[in-house]
Amino acid sequence: DQASQMQAKHRAIAFVAIVCFLTLLFLSLGRDTPDEGRTKKTNTARPDKIGPNQRNNKLPRLPPVNRTTKPETTQPKKRKLIFSINSGHSGSTALAVYLDRLNGFTGFHETLRTFSLKKIATEGYSATYEERAEILIPTILAQLERPPFADNPDEIYVETTQEFSKAMYDVILDYFHKEHGDKYEVIIVNLRRQYSCIVRSLYATVDRVRLWREPQSSDPSLIMGNEYNVLQPHVSHLPRLPEAQKDPIDAIIGFVLDHEAAIADIHSKYPDVKMVNVRIEELRYLDNFKDFLRDLGITEFSKKLFGGWDKSFWGNVLTREVNVHIRHTHKKDPFVAQITDRIQQFIDCYKENGLKVPRFPAVNITYKGIPRSHWHEVVPCEQ
């Protein structure tokens, strides 16, 4: 009996062992074999995501990072600075006014601190360079640190003072163009107006300009304000020719034409500075004004640029501003016609003496860019 009990116990143990073995074998086979009637899920939405059966797969090795390569840096945008060469009485106030009306432009007219033209005429540009630089450069930099320039790096600075070509150009161009051309883009606007109108307008001021009342004097102590004659050796850009200065009108003509010589001299000293030529009479018309803005580098003419004003309103603004600040020449005005003849005589006198003079594009009474149908709209020029 005892032996039979032991055999039964051994058989039970063996049975349990066999059952356990088969159970484990079935479970191990069931992990890799999907049940009938069920489909295995695949990751179609995120193919780059690692699925449950991909965890042991090796990921592709990323290329090594070249830590010696410097990251690409974007070049900072240059601040645009616009200055004007003009003789005065030529529309510089109007130019500053309606450039200032544009979004993105801030216009000034004769706000820079002035320097004595009499001192330059006496001592020369080189001797007064440092003193002029100590006045002009900090003034402009301080202005650029104030709103709207401090808040907007794209805001364009405009200064239309007539003193630029008389007492400022060398200091400003040396600092902002030559030394700091990586930060600033300087543009010079050569602003012209019909010469006869300028001479007529300046003739009304002859009583306070002694050098025009004494046209053949070269004494710099006679200089008052910003007016001079072309006999001043340190200020004038035209060659000295006393016989061309017969009376006050000749002195004023020489003063006006000297700005064309200034344009030529400045261009020869700074040939890579961008210069834009414009006649104030042209800017009465919106299409001409847009052409002028294109020359300044403006390519998009959106409502934001024009302050939300439509085309007709902006055209009226241009016409009104120019008519307020500038009067236009009428070819039938006898005094203007006389001045035009005197201007040609002045130029001929230089040529007869073998002296080289620049081109004078504002002598002609008509002006390029204005439709012929609008010529009748101009009115006689006034003071």
**Which H, E and C letters describe 262-294, residue by residue?**
HHHHHHHHCCCCEEEEEECCHHHCHHHHHHHHH
As given in the structure block, the two tokens for residue 210 are 């002694």
pLDDT at position 333, please?
62
- Alpha carbons 284 and 291: distance in angstroms, whole number: 12
Spatial neighbors of 164 by CB under 8 A, at least 6 apart, are: 83, 84, 85, 172, 188
pLDDT for 188: 97
DSSP 3-state assignment of 14?
helix
> Residues, the chain, total?
383
Which stretch of DSSP H or E encloses residue 324? helix 311-325
Check residue 55 and give its pLDDT: 46
Rounded Cα distance, 187 and 169, in Å = 12
* Residue 372: per-residue pLDDT: 38
Query: Quick check: helix, strand or coil at residue 111?
Result: coil
Paired tokens of 354: 């073998």
As a whole number of angstroms, the distance between CA 358 and CA 230 comes to 14
The pLDDT of residue 77: 83
Residues of the chain short of pLDDT 50, as ranges, are 33-52, 54-57, 59, 328-331, 366-383
Cα–Cα distance between 188 and 86 in angstroms, integer? 10
Q: Which CATH class is domain 79-361?
A: alpha beta
Instruction: Evaluate whether 129 touches 171 at the Cβ level (below 8 Å).
Output: yes
Q: Which residue has the tokens 């834009």?
A: 276
Q: What is the pLDDT of residue 75?
A: 66
What's the CA gap between 105 and 297, in Å, rounded? 12
pTM of the model: 0.74
Q: Are 111 and 225 in contact (CB under 8 A)?
A: no
Closest CA relative to residue 342, chosen from 198, 157, 168, 128: 198
Cα 95 to Cα 161: distance, rounded to the nearest angstrom: 11
Question: What was the pLDDT predicted at 80?
Answer: 97
Helix H or strand E segment including 80: strand 79-85
Residue 338 tokens read as: 């006389």
pLDDT of the residue at 251: 93
Q: Where are the domains of the chain?
A: 79-361
Rg of the chain over CA atoms, in angstroms? 40
